[in-house]
Chain A
Amino acid sequence: MMTNKEIFLIKAKVLKAIREFFANEGFLEVDTPTLVLSPDPCPFNEVFKIEGKNLYLTTSPEFYIKKLLSAGLKNVYQITKAYRDWQEKDPLHLNEFTILEWYRHNADYFDLMVDCEKLVNLVFERLHSQVQNSKCKVQNENEKLKIINYQGKKINLSAPWQRISCKEAFRKYANVDLDKFMDINYARKICQQKEYQITENNSWEELYHQVFLNEVEPKLPKQQPLILYDYPAPLAALSKIKENGPNYAERFEFYIGGLELGNGYSELTDWKEQEKRLKADIETRKIKGMKVFDYDHEFIEALKSGLPKTAGIAIGIDRLVMLFCDAADIHEVTPLFL
């Protein structure tokens, strides 16, 4: 077990390396509020409401950073706190966590994938620079090869990382044709064949995730980082739908050692589509009995005024710290947190 001091030292170095990376890339660090009137209504993340006031803690800085982008800022990043009210405690989520988001001007999700490779490798180098002259030969060999040990697995962080599309992953690991699976009736049939418990009420997203969590995610390679990309359109969230394939969205997530660390998009810039999705999210919240609030009209106004082509991503800093502390549980690297 690491001491508090060791954990904070690693966390401080991680944050310092992140800031160094963005300074080198010419990004501006911005600050946006965490206390807001209209948080992201995404129906998978419940929000914390301030008692007696119409104020909420943000689940991510995304809407506010996009307001800045619409107002003319270009390459920006933010390191801030985000809050999500999870139903139960689990080893990978905190109610309060540190989030890094960055937005690259005139870029798409493939550009972000390269950013992720470079950023994680710089963090690795900065964490290991001080032990360079030391004792262990094996360690020095590992440094050259950019190998870390995480939960008993050796992981080579060197770029390029392996990339696999959701469609390819479903075909390879679950023997499912995702193009056909997009149809909910076909998806139900497949899930029944696979002996999953299916009811009329199950949404397409639940069917997708049941196959993904049981058959795909456990089999994703863990010896090196992995980028899973081109998510099905119903999981587009705030991403742009692919021009050449309306079933998929320009969204990716990356995993290191089985830990999901980041979620990036070619950003949706069409205000009409964005407003439609926000309204649909609020309706879903009502059905699920979640907290309901008005969507952020200022955000839609900002998109109307013009959000230039941009790609943005969020990384969980506490998870990145878990990786470099070899921690299996996020609570191990966040002493004193609830």
Chain B
Amino acid sequence: MTTIDTSAIKKGLCIMFRDAPHIVVEKTFVSPGKGSAFYRTKLKNIKTGNVLEFTFKSGEKLEEAPVEVQELQYLYCDGETLNFANPRTYEQFSLAKEMASDFFPLMKEGETYQVYIMDNQAVAIRPPLKVRLLVTKSEPAVKGNTVTGATKEVEVETGYKVQVPLFIKEGDIISINVETGEYVERG
């Protein structure tokens, strides 16, 4: 089991919390004005699906959950279920779409992702730091029409919409930070 510090908490990580494995669904840095740093999290129990909120002091120690990770190919989404296969053994796995939460809009059929497996069931996805996706729709920028001066909105191949610099055009491959959902770089 790996011990990690609160600063290593990130969305998608599977940690032990009060003796049960939990997926980190949300993480925000909190500094209560005249006080020390804290991390506010939303944790989903991967056995029961219950979600709870907990605020950690900066510096608390956590254990990564003893959950197996397999590289699985994402095949397709069928309603509320995501279907995966192990590309070597062809073993099939299914996962409730809600367990992918914020990562789902960035998932591309045919890609390989790390999936947490417990008791031979897929329980959650361990999202990568960033994903590379093709820009499929890009409108010319309208001056003054966006909140951040020098950006515009584009759509990538999964349907996800993201703010990018003005030089990005249809057909470009861009990298998106999974944690923040924001554009990182071209290529």
Task: State the A residues within 8 Å of B (CB).
Answer: 1-5, 7, 42, 44, 86-93, 195-197, 202-203, 205-206, 208-210, 212-214, 218, 235, 237, 253, 260, 263, 332, 335-336
Contact = CB atoms under 8 A, between A and B. Distances in A.
A91 B28 contact: yes
Contacts of A88: 29
Contacts of B61: 197
Interface residues of B, number: 26
Contact of A7 (B28, B33, B60, B147): B147
Interface string B27-50: 011111111111010000000000
Interface of B is mostly: loop
A263 B34 CA distance: 10
Given A86-B31, A91-B28, A336 B148 contact: yes
Contacts of A3: 144-147
B57 A235 contact: no
A213 B33 contact: no
Contacts of B18: 195
A206 B147 contact: no
A89 B29 contact: yes
A90 B40 CA distance: 11
Interface string B146-159: 11110000000000
B31 A203 contact: no
Contacts of A1: 146-147
B30 A213 contact: yes
Interface in B64-121: none
Contacts of A86: 29, 31
B82 to A, nearest CB: 28
A195 to B, nearest CB: 7
